[in-house]
Structure 1
Amino acid sequence: MDRSPSVDVEIPDRPLFKAAEVCSIAGVQPYVLKSWEGEFPALGASTTTGARVYRRVDVELV
């Protein structure tokens, strides 16, 4: 299987990220990130405040 090379992206040293920040870091549109949440259970967004917040490990996964 031919895979595109991985790209090293600088992730800020913080424990939590807003959805817009994750999209910016990953280079994806918000609807793509939301779709991935449904497809990949390991990608867990916390919504306790009504806003989707991602842990650093989630950003690394994306």
Structure 2
Amino acid sequence: MADRIPEKPYLRIGEVARLLGTQTHVLRYWEDCFPQLKPVRAASGQRLFRKPDLETLLLIQSLLHEEGYTIAGARKRLEELEQSQPTKQAPPELGQLKDELKDILRLLD
């Protein structure tokens, strides 16, 4: 799966649904159920998923469909995994944020 992830900074919900082989309403439901999912919102309200969001979605899908977790169990497992992770990365530099904002603008045009 990781080799099929496009090298784009943001993916729209339809693209993510196709990559995961699921429906867009499932992704919106998972967004409500898992606080770890926080896609960026464009000014139009459209969800824009980044690579870390996609990795989280892949983990959620694996927990639910392959390992047989319930939604509550998968949420708890994700929280455990977050707590066991070393400190999070430093925030992106200003230049990187500027580039990401430009990419969002290109997507919206």
TM-score by length of 1: 0.78
| More deviation, 48-57/23-32 | 48-57
RMSD of the alignment, in Å?
A: 1.0
Point out where structure 2 has 5 or more consecutive residues left out of the alignment: 58-109
Where in structure 1 do 4 or more consecutive aligned residues deviate above 6 Å?
Answer: none
Q: Name the structure with the higher strand share.
A: 1
TM-score by length of 2: 0.47
Point out where structure 1 has 5 or more consecutive residues left out of the alignment: 1-8
Q: Name the structure with the higher helix share.
A: 2
What percent of counterpart residues are identical? 35
Q: Which structure is richer in relative contact order (CA contacts within 8 A, separation 6 or more)?
A: 1
Question: Which residue of 2 is the match for residue 59 of structure 1?
Answer: 54
Look at both structures and tell me which one has the larger radius of gyration over its CA atoms.
Answer: 2
